[in-house]
Amino acid sequence: MLQRTPRLLALSLCLALAPACNGDDGTTVADSDAEASATSDTASTTGTTEASTTTEGDTSTTTGTTGASDTEDTTTTSTTSDGSTTVETTGGVESACDRLGGADGLEALHMDFLARVLADDRINGYFLNSDVDGPALIACLGDQVSEALACPGADYACKSMQDAHFELGISSLDFADFVEIYAAALDDHQLAHAAVTDDDKAALLGAIAATEADVVEDADSNQTVYQRIGRKPALKALVGDVDTVKTFVNAVSGDPMINGFFTDADFVRLATCFTRQLASIDGPVKYGLEVDSPGPGIDDGVALDAPCVDMMSSHAGLKDSKDDSLITYFDFTQVLSDLIVAMDAATIAENDQLAIIGVLGPLCEDIVGDHPNDCPGNNTSITIDANGVNLAIPDDGYTGTKASMVCASLAVDDDGINYVEEVEVEVGINHPWLGDLVIKVYSPANKVITVLSRAGMSELADDGGGVSVEGSDLSAGAPITFLEDAPYDAETLGDGVNLGNSGIACQDDGRCEYTPNHGAAAAGSLADLAGELAPGTWQICAGDAGSADKGTLVNASIKLRKVKYKP
């Protein structure tokens, strides 16, 4: 199991138990007085030792209030006639290291401590990640304690406390919980090792407390959403279960608008994975690096070989059991709405709610299976203007070619959302006989769409021949817009003017939006530009196929609705 226990994010809170761990370079800083004491002929102690020896054949024991800094003189181990083991000291006292059980005893203590940590939701988020090296953690912790106790051969060579806990965001609450858990483990260890004194425990816990400044980065326990909300226990309560009202799982399982997607859901696994996902926003949990549950009620439903899955994989092909539909953007927002209801019930502050939604929102495109371009950030609308270009349209010069027209150029930049979904075109033209005009749009890939072709005339070919009877005027001050599903057909441009050939379309009849009509030109609509790449130079071109009436392309603009994924 230790191989599967998570790393406390660089051996997080491995609880250095010796001031020696405070060296800037991670090396041991020895106490000169302790060294002098260790080399003296006569051992010194910091506590009062009382020794009692039983009669022959019984076990010899040593008890007292000796602290963790007691030195060790010559120690002999012998077996009495009844087969029991005795520890005798000559010229000194039994060391705290011995009282705690030596190397084997310390390993047992720390194994128990780690088991308690893994079972405690207050701080196990630092550990229940599969990149934790459990054996290394136990080894480093053992070395630290051994060095603090001056155990024979002790040598702490792991990272310094500051380096090991840098940028982990460990709070004062986290640290206090670790001390509490270690103290509980010590209490039980004392029951199995009667020689351990209260002073031994106090000395170890004092050494732990001395490392707080090197370990804690969030002294007020409020620098992250994770800490402000109440850490993993609060997130676990927020996510809840099917039967606990006003929790997230209860809400989505009972929401008739979306619960069809949860018909076959494993709600235990769902609750664990969503709790871990929330705890990974700015907390210690690493989503997707799950381990085997260390016990009932602790990250149930996941395992080292069955970790939580990324959003795209877990939702791919997921359908509503009620109508067989894929997840839509509406469905996604409904899930977030249910989460907000649960967060309100849990009295989570608005700024923290916004932070959580701000992280989950961008996951929309990984979750939505139907029209992911509807997700925020996956679509945008831009308008590119070419105003005041004042390009003279060659009178009676149109022959059906681009070369016979004047063109306003409009440059569109690459902003990462580059596929065209919808196009609108607006032109501001001064012309006294609009039936002469042909207007075309050219995409950067040179795809051409004719939006106006000789209004009022059923031309036989797109070559500029013939005369249109539509003599209404156009004015740049009353621009014409071409878009799909407009209320009027471009072939009828000017029909609404009731003032004969002196009226101005749009200005006089209020009919300013038209659906493109290609006339005798190649068939195609603005909808055919959907899927084109938007970046590059677009052109809006105008040609004049009649004599005597001259015009000017004054203004031109193109409005593009762009999407991230090809529609």
pLDDT for 147? 87
pLDDT for 530? 97
Q: What is the CATH number of the domain that holds 490?
A: 2.60.120.260
What is the b/e burial string over 168-183, where b = at least 16 CB atoms within 10 angstroms of the residue's CB? bbbbbbbbbbbbebbe
Check whether residue 315 and residue 211 sit in a common domain. no
Check whether residue 428 and residue 363 sit in a common domain. no
Check whether residue 457 and residue 433 sit in a common domain. yes
Q: Is residue 470 part of a domain?
A: yes
pLDDT for 135? 86
Q: Is residue 434 part of a domain?
A: yes
H, E, C per residue of 130-193: CCCCHHHHHHHHHHHHHHHCCCCCCCCCCCCHHHHCCCCCCEHHHHHHHHHHHHHHHHHHHHHC
Check whether residue 200 and residue 247 sit in a common domain. no
Give the span between the Cα atoms of 336 and 367, in whole angstroms: 12
Task: Tell me which residue of 512, 514, 516 sits closest to 529, measured CA to CA.
Answer: 516
Q: Which domain holds residue 350?
A: 226-374
Is the CB of residue 263 less than 8 Å from the CB of residue 274?
no
Check whether residue 173 and residue 31 sit in a common domain. yes
Both tokens of 342, joined, read 């649960």
Check whether residue 312 and residue 359 sit in a common domain. yes
pLDDT for 51? 33
Q: What is the CATH number of the domain that holds 295?
A: 1.10.490.10
Final residue in a domain of this structure, among 356, 374, 392: 374
Which parts of the chain sit beneath pLDDT 50?
Answer: 1-92
Q: Which helix (H) or strand (E) holds 565?
A: none
Q: What is the pTM of this model?
A: 0.73
Check whether residue 205 and residue 85 sit in a common domain. yes
Check whether residue 202 and residue 129 sit in a common domain. yes
pLDDT for 564? 96
Quickly tell me which residue has 């203007």 as its tokens: 385
Q: Is residue 132 part of a domain?
A: yes
Final residue in a domain of this structure, among 313, 343, 374: 374
Check whether residue 230 and residue 294 sit in a common domain. yes
Check whether residue 237 and residue 200 sit in a common domain. no
DSSP type of residue 547: S
Question: What is the tally of structural domains in the chain?
Answer: 3
pLDDT for 498? 65
The number of CA neighbours under 13 Å toward the Cβ of 132 is: 35
Check whether residue 404 and residue 551 sit in a common domain. yes
Is the CB of residue 118 less than 8 Å from the CB of residue 294?
yes
Q: Are strands 61-64 and 391-393 parallel, antiparallel or unpaired?
A: unpaired
Q: Is residue 51 part of a domain?
A: no
Give the span between the Cα atoms of 211 and 94, in whole angstroms: 27
Q: Is residue 507 part of a domain?
A: yes
Q: Which residues contact 87 (CB under 8 A, 6 or more apart)?
A: 60, 62, 75, 76, 77, 94, 98
Q: Is residue 55 part of a domain?
A: no
Check whether residue 180 and residue 154 sit in a common domain. yes
pLDDT for 168? 87
Give the span between the Cα atoms of 330 and 370, in whole angstroms: 10
Final residue in a domain of this structure, among 374, 397, 432: 374
